[in-house]
Structure 1
Amino acid sequence: MTVIFCGDEGDLYIAARDLPELFRLLAAEDEDEPAHGAHVAWLERTFGLTPAEDPDAVYQAALVEYGRAFADWWLTFDDEDSIIADLLDELEDLNL
């Protein structure tokens, strides 16, 4: 179940390939939060996972795997690429 982020200011990107991957990303991003230790413990206890060591690599893997298919699907509903311009630029940079 791919996780797509749709922001209220027009952001649109593939955040993770699945929910456990998203949980790992969230654990990597909130290290300064008071509940970080509790989140990491929950992640380990519930899923046997640890925080993502390289969040950019996780994002890139999701983009490579699902980016082109998602962009093509999105364009079937919206023939203007303005909302996914950044995603299309990233895919072009990766030759996808």
Structure 2
Amino acid sequence: MSDAYSPVSELNRLKEFDERCGSEYYANGFELVEFGRPSGAETYSEEQEFVDSFLCFARANRSGSDYAFWRVDDREDLAALPVVVFGDEGGICVVASNLRDLFRQLGCDWWQWPSWEAAQFVEPDLDDKPSPRHGDYLEWLKENFGLTPPDNPNELRDVAEAEFGALLESWVDRFYQDE
């Protein structure tokens, strides 16, 4: 039995960084949670196929939205799966095409604002201070993966939405009908 946080090496590296940060944020509202814990999927459907298709790994914001991998297919590399967000007030939306794209989005230090229609990243106000460990996160991102943040995290979200959005919507509709 492994003591690793998850079966995803990239997440395990983030978990090590996260533990060094203590209780200080490095990206607005982002917090790792127990890997694979319920993601809110069961509030949409009790069908086991639906629930098992999502692997939660983080809070997306301070109000309770969750990031999860969506098992869109049978690929073994979980880090290559699309990342979705379950909004705390509803909605399931594609956020990133894969984990590294989410890591880049987190590098912008913007708020995640999911809704039934979309999962927008919202730029903080000019008077908002950056997350206390944000600079450390940017260094970690560059050192560990050679990555930098995009100018706007919604650009990566738009790419993921174009690739997976309609597929996710039709897949969810198989299990959940809004009444």
- Scaled by the length of structure 1, the TM-score of the pair is 0.77
**For 1:1-96, what aligned pairs fall within 5 Å after superposition?**
1-29=81-109, 32-80=130-178
Which has the larger displacement, 45-54 or 68-77? 45-54
1:45, distance to aligned residue in structure 2 (A)? 0.8
1:12, distance to aligned residue in structure 2 (A)? 2.1
Q: Compute the RMSD of aligned alpha carbons.
A: 1.6
Q: Distance in 1 between matches of 2:89 and 2:164?
A: 22
Identity of aligned residues (%): 33
Which has the larger displacement, 53-62 or 66-75? 53-62
Q: Distance in 2 between matches of 1:64 and 1:38?
A: 32
Compare the two structures and name the one with the higher strand fraction: 2
Query: Judging changes above 3 Å, is the alpha-carbon distance between structure 1 residues 78 and 11 closer, same or farther for their aligned structure 2 residues?
Result: closer
String of CA shifts for 1:3-22, please: whole Å, max 9, x gaps: 00002211321110000000
Which has the larger displacement, 27-36 or 55-64? 27-36
- Scaled by the length of structure 2, the TM-score of the pair is 0.43
Q: Distance in 1 between matches of 2:177 and 2:131?
A: 41
The amino acid that maps onto 1:23 is F
Q: Secondary structure at the match of 1:28?
A: coil
Q: Secondary structure at the match of 1:15?
A: strand
String of CA shifts for 1:43-93, please: whole Å, max 9, x gaps: 01111100122212111111100001000100010133x7xxxxxxxxxxx
C-alpha contact 2:94 2:160 (8 A) present in aligned 1? yes
**Structure with higher RCO (Cα < 8 A, 6+ apart):** 1
Aligned residues: 81
The amino acid that maps onto 1:22 is L
Q: Secondary structure at the match of 2:143?
A: helix
C-alpha contact 2:109 2:134 (8 A) present in aligned 1? no
Compare the two structures and name the one with the higher helix fraction: 1
Q: Distance in 2 between matches of 1:43 and 1:66?
A: 25
Q: Which residue of 1 aligns with 2:46?
A: none
Which runs of 5 or more structure 1 residues have no equivalent in the other structure? 83-96
